[in-house]
Amino acid sequence: METVTLDALDRALLHALQVDGRAPFRRIAEVLGVSDQTVARRYQRLRAAGVLRVVGRTSARLLGQVDWLTRIRCVPDAAGSLAEALARRPDTSWVSLLSGGEIVCNARARVRPEREELLLGALPRSPRVLSVSAHYLLRTYVGGPVAWSGRTSALSAGQIARLRAGAPSPAPAAAGELDELDRALLAALVVDGRTPLAALAAATGSPETTVRRRLAALTATGLLFFDVDVDPRPLGFEIEAYCWLTVAPGRLAAVGRAMAEHPEVGFVAATTGPSSLVAGLVCRDTGAFYDYLTDGLGALDGVAAVETAPVLRSVKRAGMMITSSNYP
């Protein structure tokens, strides 16, 4: 991957997209005080380098689905090929290869037959797979519609307000069942959340006015939201790890909310299973990782045990395969 260093304008653009992933370049340029062409050029450079990607994402709950967190322990030399096989599945949104021959992935299932197929049929049965565990994600404190606070804080409160003021205010609508148009729109937006209306209309065979109204309805219900998938390394975070915490039930929500405010936490959710919280951590180096474990987590009342595992490679992120060449 191209080595990219973010300057102040890049960070401001990233923050603007975090506020409104589909904000027109013209509106972002006005808020940042630069030209439309400069904003468009910076965005295209960062996207081409794999630093950021705006993606349309959906609410599992509103679609009648459940997010599963699956941990697979296997013989170390089998982990890479298995992780790539899981990443090719359409029902996985992210897959990470951890130290010690472990894979962690997120998958969605809708109804009982799909759950049984995911857990009993889709996961590999091989002597090289040592164990498999799968648990519900019950409540997400950071991740999904709630952005990672460590991404950037480049904009002032006034600039954020100006960006939000320029965004359209869709009329509330009932979620209902997805129709063919909805599914076509979501399929395009999961690849590129900034796909222009004209391209969406061409892809769906519908007028732009219809596409605009349907996008407004989907976002108004919360079924569709726009996320910014960010490579943390250009932001100065070199260490990624997963962390499983055993927390006293009465302290679960408080610990989850507290972790959501920590810039080292890119994702945290309550889960079923022997651990009650799972988190994705991003730290500047191993020293910062140690400091966070001892000072950040150590200061939280109710945490009884912590298990950590470094990420060796992200194989799939925000629904897109990540090639090995992107990781030095």
Domain boundaries, the chain: 8-58+152-230, 66-141+319-326, 236-312
What is the residue whose two structure tokens read 């194989």? 315
C-alpha span between 195 and 207 (Å, rounded): 15
C-alpha span between 151 and 235 (Å, rounded): 7
pLDDT at 118: 54
By CB atoms closer than 10 A (0-12, 13-18, 19+), residue 209 is exposed
CATH fold match for the domains 8-58+152-230 and 236-312: no
Amino acid at residue number 27: R
pLDDT at 143: 83
Q: How far are the Cα atoms of 12, 113, 124, 313, 322 from residue 160, in angstroms, in the given order?
A: 10, 44, 46, 34, 31
pLDDT at 111: 54
CB atoms within 10 A of CB 326: 16
Q: Kindly indicate whether the domain formed by 66-141+319-326 is annotated with CATH number 3.30.70.920.
A: yes
Check: CB of residue 78 under 8 Å from CB of residue 128.
yes
| Cα dihedral across residues 318, 320, 324, 328: positive or negative | negative
Check: CB of residue 110 under 8 Å from CB of residue 64.
yes
97 forms beta bridges with: 103, 313
Tallying the residues shown for the chain, one arrives at 328
Per-residue pLDDT of the chain (328 residues; tens, 9 = 90+): 456 788 999 999 999 999 999 999 999 999 999 999 999 999 999 999 888 999 999 888 888 888 999 999 999 888 999 999 889 888 888 999 999 899 999 988 765 545 555 555 555 566 788 888 889 999 999 887 776 766 678 899 999 999 988 666 654 544 557 889 999 999 999 999 999 999 999 999 999 999 999 998 899 888 999 989 888 888 888 999 999 999 999 999 999 999 999 999 999 999 999 999 999 999 999 999 999 999 999 999 999 999 999 999 999 988 788 865 444 4
Check: CB of residue 136 under 8 Å from CB of residue 67.
yes
Check: CB of residue 225 under 8 Å from CB of residue 144.
yes
Q: Kindly indicate whether the domain formed by 236-312 is annotated with CATH number 3.30.70.920.
A: yes
Check: CB of residue 314 under 8 Å from CB of residue 96.
yes
CB hemisphere CA count around 195 (13 angstroms): 23
pLDDT at 230: 86
User: Taking Cα atoms as reference points, which of 255, 251, 250 lies closest to residue 278?
Assistant: 255
Q: How far are the Cα atoms of 260, 273, 275 from residue 247, in angstroms, in the given order?
A: 15, 12, 8
List CB contacts of 298: < 8 A, sequence separation 6 or more: none
pLDDT at 112: 58
pLDDT at 36: 95
The pTM for the full model equals 0.84
C-alpha span between 244 and 102 (Å, rounded): 14
The third-level CATH classification (topology) of the domain covering 8-58+152-230 is Arc Repressor Mutant, subunit A (1.10.10)
pLDDT at 153: 81
